[in-house]
C-alpha cells in the first residue's frame, strides 16, 4: 500500500472514531470543542484534496499534518465529553 493511501486510511479511521463518539446519546460536548473539531476536520478535507489534486508539493509533510489534525480533533472531543443527564 502506498504512503498516500495509508495516511488517508488513518484519517478515515480517526474520522470513524469521531463519528462513534459523537453519535452516543449519553454524551454532550461543549460548543467550543465541537467548533474546534469541525474546523480541524474541514482542514483535513482541504489537505486531502490538495494532496490528491497535486496542489501541494510535499505530500508526506501534508499527510502527516492531516493525521495530526484528525487526532487532535478526536482527542479534543474525547476529553471534553460529558455524560448527558
* Cβ-based neighbours of 74, under 8 Å, separated by 6 or more: 14, 17, 18, 21, 37
Residue 84 confidence (pLDDT): 64
- pTM score of the predicted model: 0.85
For the chain, the domain total comes to: 1
Residue 82 has pLDDT above 80, yes or no: no
Cα separation, 12 vs 70, in Å, equals: 9
Dihedral through CA 79, CA 3, CA 50, CA 62, nearest 10? 60
Residue with cell 454532550: 28
Kindly report, residue by residue over 8-64, the tens digit of the pLDDT.
Answer: 899 999 999 999 988 888 888 889 989 999 999 999 999 999 998 999 889 999 999
pLDDT of res. 85: 61
* Domain containing residue 58: 3-20+29-83
Position 80 confidence tier, pLDDT thresholds 50, 70, 90:
confident
Amino acid at each position: 500500500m502506498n504512503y498516500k493511501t495509508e495516511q488517508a486510511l488513518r484519517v478515515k479511521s480517526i474520522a470513524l472514531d469521531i463519528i462513534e463518539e459523537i453519535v452516543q446519546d449519553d454524551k454532550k460536548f461543549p460548543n467550543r470543542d465541537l467548533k474546534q473539531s469541525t474546523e480541524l476536520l474541514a482542514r483535513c478535507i482541504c489537505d486531502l484534496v490538495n494532496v490528491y489534486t497535486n496542489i501541494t508539493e510535499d505530500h508526506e509533510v501534508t499527510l502527516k499534518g492531516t493525521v495530526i489534525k484528525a487526532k487532535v480533533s478526536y482527542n479534543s472531543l474525547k476529553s471534553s465529553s460529558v455524560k448527558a443527564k
